[in-house]
Structure 1
């Protein structure tokens, strides 16, 4: 059954998301009108500022550990793919391109294991980031950590995990 979106166009019943900096609108399968969401950064500015500070510290930590900007953005993108965050995917795709990442590698990131386009340290960082995103899978965490120890310093392992858990 068609219904009218916020922009006035009729569509089939489907979930749609429209995200802007000021007015995210989420429409779902059961309602004919968009639902306005709370802007948690505006509702709880002190918590948001603290999160921004943590993010800045993690970025500095990654840089000081020797993780280059493209690797950090690959981690951000892979975790965002797993989490299904369209906003983060958009932001970090643009950031990765600005950092010099190739469109080809970005295009195959979700299948990084099946391509030879990523270096051993990048592969270790991606596996570790995936493991950090799936904490219930202990065997995945153990194997990713052991593989990372072969090619990454302790500082890079720590920074990789921090990047993954703070995206």
Structure 2
């Protein structure tokens, strides 16, 4: 990997603002496991090795199982995830892949069965924030920490 800029050094105010957004997530109604599912799945879609590495480790520390992490990219085809979690993951995929149609009416209506409007807004923000981090990590070629 080539040596690229470190945004935290070149644009510390922007970096601090991103951390502020991330800190917001710790004060939402989303569980730690829901947050990590969002972060891992979006990072898988975006191909962000740095974030996949970080958030799979965080998920394991918070009680997630290795089997569910191994099967996360195939969540459609397993019964290891609840219907609520599958809705959360569908939202994550649709918001991450915004150019494909964005958050569809079908998925949004499904989300309303499990989540309040406040939590739906928090899920959307969680997906937006991890997608931003993925773009920073990939653009600056942040190495995964092994």
Asked if Structure 1 and Structure 2 have the same fold, meaning a TM-score greater than 0.5 normalized by the shorter chain, the answer is: yes
Question: Do the aligned residues in 1 keep the contact of 2:95 with 2:102 (CA within 8 Å)?
Answer: no
Q: Structure 2, unaligned stretches of length 5 or more?
A: 131-146
Q: 2:47 aligns with which of 58, 72, 84?
A: 84
Corresponding residue pairs, total:
130
From the two aligned structures, give the one with the greater strand fraction: 1
> How big is the alpha-carbon RMSD for the aligned residues of Structure 1 and Structure 2?
1.3
In 1, distance between residues paired with 2:60 and 2:103?
Answer: 29
Q: Structure 1, unaligned stretches of length 5 or more?
A: 1-25, 27-34
| Residues 13-162 of structure 1: pairs in structure 2 closer than 5 A | 26=1, 35-61=2-28, 65=29, 67-138=30-101, 141-162=104-125
TM-score of the superposition, structure 2-length normalised?
0.84
Which of 1 and 2 has higher RCO (CA within 8 Å, sep 6+)?
A: 2
TM-score of the superposition, structure 1-length normalised?
0.74
For the pair shown, the structure with the greater C-alpha radius of gyration is: 1
SS of 1:123's equivalent?
A: helix
SS of 1:60's equivalent?
A: coil
